[in-house]
Amino acid sequence: MSAPILWIAIPFIMGVFILFFLRERFSALIGGVTAGILALAALVFPIDTALLLGLISLKIAPSIQFFGRSFELNTADGPLLAIVYGLSALWFLGTEASGTSNRFASLGLMIIALLTASIAVEPFLYAALLLEMAAMLAIPLLVPPYQKPGRGAVRFLIYQTLAMPFILFSGWMLAGVEASPGDLSTTTQAGTMLGLGFAFLLAVFPLYNWIPMLMEESSPYVTGFLLWALPTFTVIFALGFLDRYAWLRTSSQLSNAIQFAGVLMVASGGIFASLQRHIGRILGYAAIAETGLLILVMGLRSSEIVTITFLTLIPRGLELTIWALALSIIKRKAYSLRFNELQGLARSYPVAVAALILAHLSMTGFPLLAGFPPRLAIWQALAGQSLVTSFWVFFGMLGLLVAAIRTLAVFVMANEDKKWSVNESWVQVTMLGLGVIGLFILGIFPQALHPLLANLPSLFEHLVP
């Protein structure tokens, strides 16, 4: 058994099997259990290390050849696989509670398998093709059958597709830069092409207009899943570029450009979120601000880039899961998710509203919640580098906080005679309750993540001194 077969081929095949051969009511459970087992296997069985189980010796090979391309997952990838498939299990198990189409679990498994392949493939530039395949596979999730795709879905696919030629062409140019690093014109052109490619992939300002559109057009649960999965793997892909090419990670101009892009996303995402009157669009802009924080971290001149990045990625997955699930539950009652249709809904859906507000506050970096420790680490790294950058990041987080307060005010705005009642099902209450408990555990005891974070820096040897 090889690691790529276990964590790439098997989930992809399971996704196909669930889609075509399994009854709909079992698909979410089987998809979630499959992802959970793969996450547990990544924690228990180290890659490329022999284990003796009784009389049986077990060793998971790190690589496999497929059509002349190598797919390789090393020992250091184990914690990363555990994080990705563990969070995926939460998304898939929440399918029934969210009321999302049951093909979400099957297509979601295939998307995660393709994204995992994107960080395992060699030559690594083929990751751009796998990211494009994952984006195309997301379209059936975003657009219901026999329905015309909306502007958000079309722009999403266009922007993801435009990213691929930029990254592939920049990879070809980077080979020339390695051969003659003193050629400034080639270096500038390669850096520009690479930056444009990642700008499309990460929806850097002003290329993120498709995100709020999708939050209005498509299921908030499906859109939330894509806003978690695609940026997560794109950031890991980008860190691979910085680790591989010395001139990229040592360029002060590139570092400044990355920081500027990140700050612009954080500030604009927070400001636009505070001005919205649609809670789906608020989630979209909050996700934009969170992605901006990840980009900002990549531009920091710090030895803790990898640790802070993954410290931010893990709570982000949990926050988006809870927020998207709560939105999906609320959307059954108020289809448009506009403020004027949500007034007083806290008395009818108190659990969903409480979970949504807590997830929102966690994204602002509210103390005792999961988002606070990574925000604190980012503030500490920024403190000695740029007060201007710190101010704009604070301004963006303040915008998200204003949006949270406005949302809470709308939810509790009701007549005094309206009675409190719990209309969520026990499955919905259980999923939201476990998620909220997770937010507090990660916020109060961030050291719980240490076993996962300890070995992740070894994935990028040159980024860590």
Over the stretch 102-122, which tens digit does the pLDDT of each residue have? 688 889 999 999 999 988 888
Q: For 433, which DSSP code?
A: H
* Token duo for residue 178: 């390695």
User: What residues have CB less than 8 Å from 319, skipping those under 6 apart?
Assistant: 290, 359, 362, 363, 370, 371, 439
Q: What is the DSSP letter of 420?
A: P
Q: What number is the average pLDDT over the span 23-52?
A: 83
Residues with Cβ within 8 Å of residue 255, at least 6 apart in sequence = 299, 300, 301
Q: How far apart are CA 217 and CA 151, in angstroms?
A: 8
Q: What is the pLDDT of residue 397?
A: 92
Q: What pLDDT digit, counting tens, does each position of 183-221 carry?
A: 566 677 777 888 888 899 898 888 888 999 999 888 889
**What are the start-end ranges of the H helices in 180-219?**
184-201, 210-217
Q: Which of 129-138, 285-294, 329-338 has the lowest mean pLDDT?
A: 329-338
Q: Residue 383: exposed, middle, or buried by beta-carbon count in 10 A (0-12, 13-18, 19+)?
A: exposed
Is there a contact between 290 and 211 (Cβ–Cβ < 8 Å)? no
Q: What global pTM score does this model have? A: 0.91
Nearest to 322 by CA among 365, 289, 370, 374: 370
Segment 404-425 shows an average pLDDT of 84
- Residue 465 predicted with pLDDT over 60: no
- 143 sits in the region (left: phi over 0; alpha: psi -120 to 50; else beta) called beta
Residue 407: per-residue pLDDT: 92
pLDDT for position 127: 83
Which residues are bridge partners to 53 per DSSP?
56
Chain centre distance of CA 386: 27
DSSP SS3 for 71: strand
Domain residue ranges of the chain, discontinuous segments joined by +: 1-122, 123-459
pLDDT-derived band at 439, boundaries 50, 70, 90: very high
Q: State phi, psi for 40 to the nearest 5 degrees.
A: -65, -40
Q: Please, which pLDDT band fits residue 123 given cuts at 50, 70 and 90?
A: confident
Specify the 3-state DSSP secondary structure of 59: coil
Rg (CA), the chain: 22
Residues whose CB falls within 8 Å of the CB of residue 100, separated by 6 or more in sequence, listed in order: 219, 221, 222, 328
| Residue for token pair 């915008």 | 399
Q: What percent of the chain has pLDDT over 70?
A: 94
Q: How many CA atoms lie within 13 A of 92 on its CB side?
A: 32
CA pseudo-torsion sign 201, 206, 209, 211:
positive
Calculate mean pLDDT across residues 365-371: 90
What's the pLDDT score for residue 274?
Answer: 92
Residue 54 reports pLDDT greater than 70: no
Q: Give residue-wise pLDDT tens across range 230-242.
A: 999 999 888 888 8
Q: How confident is the model at residue 179 (pLDDT cuts 50, 70, 90)?
A: low
